[in-house]
Amino acid sequence: MIDEDRLENLAALGGAPSFEEKLHVGRPNIGDRATLMARIEDMLDRRWLTNNGRFVQEFEHELSKFLGVKHCIVVCNATVGLEIAIKASGLTGEVIVPSFTFVATIHALQWQEITPVFCDVDPETHNIDVRRVEELVTPRTSGIMGVHLWGRACDADALSDVAVAHDLKLLFDAAHAFGSSHQGRMIGNLGDAEVFSFHATKFFNTFEGGAITTNDDDLAARIRLMKNFGFAGHDKVVYLGTNGKMNEVSAAMGLTSLESIDEFVDINRSNYERYRQELTNVPGIDLVTYDGDESYNYQYVVLDVDEAVAGIGRDELVEVLWSENVIARRYFYPGCHRMEPYRSLYPHAGLMLPVTEKLADRLITLPTGTAVDPEQISEIARVIRTAVKHGPEIRRRLAELPKSGPNGNTR
């Protein structure tokens, strides 16, 4: 256990790491193994491995029920899901989208030669700033793509008003938001369509996978055709399509994960509460909160580091944590507009994105989920408190050491 008064205890300054094994953000949650294995045996016995098999159909049915949405189409991953939703909705030209997201949101547009028009985010919610959206609309704009960051819903009503006023489609990247609600209704019912990710690093996983949800019958029909090469029957292709199908083993995992979802959320919530208790009153360190009456999945524990108050910078804190084998992540650093190809295509995008750039330089995500226990969280919090307590001294000593950690090249 770290002694908060003894700086030398920190691994970054020569002490032994607090954790022998690395603690990762997004370590998978796994449901009941025996149930999963029984499903896989069944699948092998039936020799039906993909192509809209029994598990995919059952999984889609259960998901629709869980989300209270009319159509749920499962796909091989959320990135392909976004590409299909974008194409099926008829987006072209320009789409207004936040840069403060995982790069797949933007790639899904650029892949189809649609121009992502980066919109800044709200400093409180970290979601697309509705007040900025309208001024970005041009004659080429065909849609808005919101991202429910950290599982907290975008201001869907206000976005919908802008979309209606300018005759735009409204899509949501809901990769973070499975199991979260908006105004008491499950996310999955907003805009024209929403796309979830069930990647292994998300709190609910199908190994790889995702789902597109919509209450629009025609859009759902197009999405179903598109994810299966446009096949409307044997030998009959009626539409441009791709291969976005989810396989049966992923659907089996999804059904099994769904049976444990309450447990996953409960653990995430109590982990989050523990972090919150342990980190209140640490100067310059603020936990991103989930308040109000909504449901959340609590899968992201996000810290905002105010360097001026904490006396230690975000990157230095990350370095201290990595040394302890706490592999905290800088989501979403540096911001999509500062990554290729966007950085070369739109070199001045940052001028319009002051909040995005500020958040990208301040936020840290910490390990949570079923792979982390409460004692480990307390220890992670002790490391953070120690680092802040001795911020200037740590900063001085780190500067004297050879570079390592996420900013260096030794790991």
Ligand X SMILES: *Cc1c(COP(=O)(O)O)cnc(C)c1O
Binding site for ligand X (CB under 6 A): 77-79, 101-102, 104-105, 147, 173, 175-176, 197, 199, 210
Closer residue to ligand X (CB): 101 or 141: 101
Close Cβ partners of 303 (under 8 Å, ≥ 6 residues apart): 279, 285, 286, 287, 288, 363, 364, 365, 366, 384
Closer residue to ligand X (CB): 84 or 310: 84
Q: Distance between terminal CA atoms of the chain?
A: 24
Token reading at 68: 């209270």
Backbone φ and ψ for 15, nearest 5 degrees, come out as: -75, 175
Closer residue to ligand X (CB): 252 or 310: 252
Closer residue to ligand X (CB): 197 or 323: 197
Closer residue to ligand X (CB): 175 or 279: 175
Closer residue to ligand X (CB): 168 or 175: 175
Smallest gap from residue 229 Cβ to ligand X (A):
20
Closer residue to ligand X (CB): 198 or 272: 198
Which residue type occupies 117? V
